Structure 1
Amino acid sequence: MKKVTVENLIQKFSLNVLAGEDQLEKLITQPGVHRPGLEFVGCFDFFPTEQVQILGKKEVTYLEKLSPEERKIQIKNLVYYHPSCFIVTTGEVDFDHLIHHCTEQGIPLLVTNKPETTSEFIPKLETYLIKELAPEMAVHGVCMNVSGIGILIRGSSGVGKSETAHTLIRRGHRLVADDIVVLKRLSSQTILGTHDEKTKEFLALRSIGLLNVVRLYGRKAFQDETRITLDINLTKWEKDALYNDLEQEFHYTDYMGVKIPSMEIQLQPGRDVAGLIEAAANNWYLKQQGYSAVEEFMDRIKADITME
């Protein structure tokens, strides 16, 4: 199971610590955040204590309208359930009761120090947690962003994946990862491709060696992550194995329960594999927009027949 600590949140979002300084290694194991609402009226049946608890302007305004004794009881009730941590995202607040009970129960109490609203902070936090806690797997291959389309390029060792990636980079496309591609399942329909940090910006070419694509070609040659849209498998040429069908049917590869459209491209000396990958990416995009070259071609044929 992936893990994020409270200390990770502090470093990522530059949060200040008001209580629970000795509990910063406390784990957050579930993505998403929670803003107490029903809990303020005594309903704790669905209180997601494993999530980060956010106290924004609405929550703080409600607590400030209570008498000191009522406020103390409400805060004590929240803290009693031992959530992973509290983050206060509003300005000046009477923190006394919060600090007291969080310190007593060993719960980190954090506060933002940037001038942003709760609605601005929460999406950033949720995006970070979803990515960090997403189920992941590593595959051997290359990940590229080609004309805005995330492509996973696979194939046996030495087949030419990195060389093809280099050609694509020279044509203005972006490398995401070479050799080891980390796939993260963000949802039932979304796989994110990224690197494993150690290989970030590096491309290994046989006979040449290790290249840093950013140093060679500039920042435009690299992208930190991309949504995987196509899975392309490079294979060795097999005579009579290719068909001249007007439209190739997509197969699918399953990655952690998400089916990604996949296709095979065979290699042969002189064949422009990078160009074929560009064509596959652009053709896929057009299909998503509702356009089919085959349908247009057939319509022209039908129109000619009708005129005759």
Structure 2
Amino acid sequence: MKQITVEDIVNQFSLQVLAGAEYLRKAITKPRVHRPGLEFVGYFDFFPTERVQVLGTKEVTYLHKLSHEERKTRIGNIVHYHPPCFIVKGKEEELTYLKQHCTSEGIPLLITKHEQRTSELIAKLESYLANELAPELSIHGVCVNVSGIGILLRGKSGVGKSETAHTLIGRGHRLIADDVVVLKKISPTTLLGTHDENTKEFLALRSIGLLNVVRLYGQKAFQEKTQIVLDITLKKWEKDELNNELDHEARFTEYMGVQIPSIEIQVQPGRDVAGLIEAAVQNWILKQQGYSAAEEFMERIEKDY
């Protein structure tokens, strides 16, 4: 199971530590955060104790309205479950009572340094946690973003994956990763493709060597990550295997339980593989909009009979 620590989110979001500084190495394993509500009135049947707990203006205001003894009881009931940490939107001087509880129970208490809505803070936290805690798989290939669509290019070594990516960059598209592509499963149906840091911005071309695409072509040539939408396998040209059907039966490649539509493109000298990839992307976009060229063609044929 992947995990990060409370210290990681302190650094990522520039949070101030009010209590439990010695416990910042506590593990966080869940990609969602929780905003206590029912727990303050004593209902704990579905309390997600392993999640980061966020207290916004609404929760802090409610706690201030309670008597000292009642507030002590309500907060004590929650800290008793030892969540990884509390993140509070509020002023330090207003949180003395919470600081005391967290200190005694060994729970990091963190506050935001910058003014922002609680909903915005939660959205940023969950996006960060989902990315950091997502199951990962590293594969050999190239990842590019073509017209806003994430593409995996796979195939045997030497088939031309990196050269094709270079041509796509020249046409205004973006490199995500070359050689090693890191896939992250951020939901049951969503894969992100990214690099492994070591290969970030680099593209290896036979006979040329290693290129830094940002240094050569500017920041527009590179993107940190992209959602994977199509899986394209490049194969050496084999005449007898060339597929000429009007429309292929849908095929998929599975990565960590996520099905990604896949196609094969045969490669030979002079063939515009980058152009075919651009066409595949635009055709996929049209299909998402409900249009199929093959279906329209068959409808025309049927009208003539």
What TM-score does the superposition give when structure 1 sets the normalisation length?
A: 0.96
d(CA) in 1 for partners of 2:141, 2:203:
11
Q: CA RMSD in A?
A: 1.2
AA aligned opposite 1:287: K
- Secondary structure, aligned partner of 2:228: strand
* Counterpart in the other structure of 1:47: 47
d(CA) in 1 for partners of 2:250, 2:214:
33
Deviations 1:249-298 (A, max 9, x none): 22110100010000111111111111111111111111111111122222
Contact preservation (8 Å) 1:90, 1:117: no
* Counterpart in the other structure of 1:110: 110
Deviations 1:231-255 (A, max 9, x none): 0011111121012111122211010
Deviates more, 1:90-99 or 1:262-271: 90-99
Deviations 1:62-93 (A, max 9, x none): 11110011111211221111110000023466
AA aligned opposite 1:183: L
* Counterpart in the other structure of 1:73: 73
Gap regions ≥5 residues in structure 2: none
Number of equivalent positions: 305
* Counterpart in the other structure of 1:146: 146
AA aligned opposite 1:106: G
Contact preservation (8 Å) 1:60, 1:93: no
* Counterpart in the other structure of 2:130: 130
* Counterpart in the other structure of 2:260: 260
* Counterpart in the other structure of 1:173: 173
Is 1:200 matched up with 2:203?
Answer: no
Deviations 1:33-63 (A, max 9, x none): 1111121111222221110001111111111
d(CA) in 1 for partners of 2:120, 2:263:
40
Deviates more, 1:281-290 or 1:242-251: 242-251
- Secondary structure, aligned partner of 1:284: helix
AA aligned opposite 2:288: Q
Cα 1:235–1:89 change in 2 (3 A) is same
Shift of 1:101: 1.3
Shift of 1:104: 1.1
d(CA) in 1 for partners of 2:190, 2:109:
33
Contact preservation (8 Å) 1:16, 1:111: yes
Cα 1:230–1:142 change in 2 (3 A) is same
d(CA) in 1 for partners of 2:248, 2:172:
27
d(CA) in 2 for partners of 1:10, 1:169:
37
d(CA) in 1 for partners of 2:183, 2:93:
42
What TM-score does the superposition give when structure 2 sets the normalisation length?
A: 0.97
Contact preservation (8 Å) 1:90, 1:118: no
Shift of 1:109: 0.1
Is 1:100 matched up with 2:103?
Answer: no
* Counterpart in the other structure of 2:283: 283
* Counterpart in the other structure of 1:234: 234
* Counterpart in the other structure of 1:12: 12
Is 1:273 matched up with 2:273?
Answer: yes
d(CA) in 2 for partners of 1:75, 1:237:
68
d(CA) in 2 for partners of 1:90, 1:35:
15
